[in-house]
Amino acid sequence: MKAQPEASHFVDGRYLEDAAGAEIEVIFPATGEVIARLHEATPAVIEAALASAARAQAEWGRMRPVERSRILRRAADMIRDRNEALSLLETLDTGKPLQETTVADWPSGADALEFFAGLAPSVTGETIPLGQDFVYTLREPLGVCVGIGAWNYPSQIACWKAAPALALGNAMVFKPSEVTPLGALKLAEILIEAGLPAGLFNVVQGRGAVGGALVTDPRVAKVSLTGSVPTGRKVYAAAAEGVRHVTMELGGKSPLVIFDDADLESAVGAAMLGNFYSAGQVCSNGTRVFVQRGLKDRFLKRLAERSEAIRMGDPLDPETQMGPLVSQAQLDKVLGYIGKAKAEGARLVCGGEASVSPGCYVQPTVFADVTDGMTLACEEVFGPVMAVLDFDTEEEVIARANGTDFGLAAGVFTADLARGHRVVAQLQAGTCWINAYNLTPVESPFGGSKMSGVGRENGKAAIEHYTQVKSVYVGMGPVDAPY
Ligand code: NAD
């Protein structure tokens, strides 16, 4: 299976190659096969991308919003028309099963393009009366934005950053993760075909150093990163040198709190979705599942039955429910966490082994009797490994759920809706669910608190993060100077 793109980068409306850049091998993690070979961006490629973005943005930012929107809506339609082929590529790039990529990845990217296309023409300023004089405000684009992506949802991440940036009059230079570099190139192709002027959405490939070069360029007004907390710290600090705007979508160790009055099947299903979807490689996963003691035994029994029935295998088979992890490095990391959990005394309920050789597979794994201090309860694993912790009271579980530096997401399951709202009000997380988990529609703001990030993607909240306000004071009478 080959998925070699025409060239490594997409700059100023066309594919661009510079073989002087270090090689990036793109691997299908279900087989280990190399499906494409790309090159990292050289300084010349980075320069071309930033220069064309700066040039194109000047005109794009002045265009009528409805005209910009029309192009983005067309791109959304094209993505939906081509969903099958795009999802196949996403599966090859990430190893996620077709059963997921056809409904979750590009479709949610199309939603973002459609949503921000619809929103942009109604983004206006305000008028502030001051007696005779008045102030009006304008919401202006920021300019050239840099997007840097993680490998777990590569095409969704590219769309979630490009859509608000472009709709609101900015240009974007996007660097996908070096692990999954293919989808963003397709987005660039589609946007050009939909009528986007050249230079407004450029894709450059590379590892951290290429991202670093983009973040510190004086032409860049904003940086939006999706990645881990350690990378977020570095990128935030680098962006601060130039006082740039930032959005940081970082990691988590989110709590999912299940009270003993919860609907058992829904709670088990949500815990599985929030730990096993995309083989657990989801930032907002509820990886600390707190189960009230009265429900514990029934919960673990159903969880084990349903987890053991998950169909693992070839992600290209439409019947497959769970594919491999994205890479050998990720597999090694996840197996390391499983080993540590066993060594620290957590009780293995099911799974726990690498499986379906060759390929980077690990079984859906559940540990019970996990306590707050264990590594499994503290660090982000990013694999299909669920930690189940016991609790007795509402007050206790809120304190323990908040006992982490992360604050990305949280969920509560209970039949008592008043309790659901009361608990969520006290949880320190940017995105919360009551009797649901991991649903992230584009209409809803998404992002983290504490170390999990700053800024919000999606929803109307994203407008704040891709525009800036200009205030214009209008004097209507003579100027009264005291000298
Ligand atoms: P990562 O932090 O290793 O890399 C993220 C991106 O940053 C990559 O494109 C990488 O090349 C780039 N990068 C690395 N060092 C850089 C530097 N010094 N300057 C600029 N760019 C640099 O993350 P990953 O392993 O690709 O993804 C997994 C992580 O992403 C997890 O922690 C996960 O929770 C997080 N994530 C968060 C969200 C969210 O929306 N909050 C969504 C998906 C993933």
Per-residue pLDDT tens digits for 299-332: 999 999 999 999 999 999 999 999 999 999 999 9
281 plus 147 within the same structural domain: no
Report angle CA 164, 64, 113 to the nearest 5 degrees.
25
Is 85 within a domain? Answer: yes
228 plus 284 within the same structural domain: no
Among this protein's residues, is 161 annotated catalytic? yes
pLDDT at 303: 98
pLDDT at 101: 98
Is 280 within a domain? Answer: yes
119 plus 230 within the same structural domain: yes
Percentage with pLDDT > 70 across the chain: 100
Is 440 within a domain? Answer: no
pLDDT at 203: 99
How far, rounded to the nearest angstrom, does the alpha carbon of residue 224 sit from its chain's CA centroid?
11
Which residue's alpha carbon is at the smallest distance from atom 12 of ligand 1? Answer: 208
Both tokens of 386, joined, read 């669920």
241 plus 264 within the same structural domain: no
Q: DSSP code of 221?
A: E
Which residue's alpha carbon is at the smallest distance from atom 41 of ligand 1? Answer: 249
- Closest ligand 1 atom to 179 CA: 26
User: How far away, in angstroms, is 152 Cα from ligand 1 center?
Assistant: 9
311 plus 195 within the same structural domain: no
Answer whether 210's CB lies under 8 Å from 41's CB.
yes
Among this protein's residues, is 222 annotated catalytic? no
Report the C-alpha dihedral over residues 32, 35, 37, 40, rounded to 10 degrees.
Answer: -80
In the set 40, 90, 161, 360, the catalytic residue is 161
Any atom of ligand 1 within 6 Å of the Cβ of 208: yes
Both tokens of 92, joined, read 């090859």
466 plus 405 within the same structural domain: no
Any atom of ligand 1 within 6 Å of the Cβ of 80: no
Is 478 within a domain? Answer: no
pTM beyond 0.75: the answer is yes
Q: DSSP code of 21?
A: S
Residue 399 belongs to a domain with what CATH number?
A: 3.40.309.10
For the chain, the distance separating the N- and C-terminal CA atoms, rounded to the nearest angstrom, is: 80
What Å distances lie between residue 11 and 69, 145, 330, 447, CA to CA? Answer: 22, 15, 31, 29
In the set 283, 350, 360, 432, the catalytic residue is 283
- Closest ligand 1 atom to 150 CA: 26
Which residue's alpha carbon is at the smallest distance from atom 23 of ligand 1? Answer: 227
Any atom of ligand 1 within 6 Å of the Cβ of 235: yes
Among this protein's residues, is 457 annotated catalytic? yes
pLDDT at 1: 83
Nearest to 10 by CA among 37, 32, 38, 36: 38
362 plus 350 within the same structural domain: yes
Provide the b/e sequence for 318-357 (b: ≥16 CB within 10 Å). eebbbbbbbbeebbeebbebbeebeeeebeebbbbebebe
Is 103 within a domain? Answer: yes
Ligand 1 mutation target, pool 228, 248, 333, 452, most atoms within 8 A of CB: 228
Both tokens of 238, joined, read 């680098």
Name the helix (H) or strand (E) containing 129: strand 127-130
Is 4 within a domain? Answer: no
Any atom of ligand 1 within 6 Å of the Cβ of 380: yes
Tell me phi and psi for residue 249, to 5 degrees.
Answer: -105, 100
215 plus 316 within the same structural domain: no
Per-residue pLDDT tens digits for 245-291: 999 999 999 999 999 999 999 999 999 999 999 999 999 999 999 99
User: How far away, in angstroms, is 149 Cα from ligand 1 center?
Assistant: 6
19 plus 88 within the same structural domain: yes
Q: How far apart are CA 245 and CA 132, in angstroms?
A: 35
91 plus 138 within the same structural domain: yes
Q: Which parts of the chain register pLDDT below 50?
A: none
User: How far away, in angstroms, is 161 Cα from ligand 1 center?
Assistant: 14
- The count of domains in the chain is 2
321 plus 406 within the same structural domain: yes
Q: Which domain holds residue 420?
A: 255-434
Q: How far apart are CA 470 and CA 483, in angstroms?
A: 29
236 plus 261 within the same structural domain: no
Is 443 within a domain? Answer: no
pLDDT at 358: 82
- Closest ligand 1 atom to 178 CA: 11
Binding site for NAD(+): which residues? 149-151, 175-178, 251, 283, 380
Both tokens of 298, joined, read 């029934």
Binding site for K(+): which residues? 27, 93, 243, 450, 453
Both tokens of 116, joined, read 């921000």
Is 479 within a domain? Answer: no
Residue 176 belongs to a domain with what CATH number?
A: 3.40.605.10
Tell me phi and psi for residue 50, to 5 degrees.
Answer: -70, -40
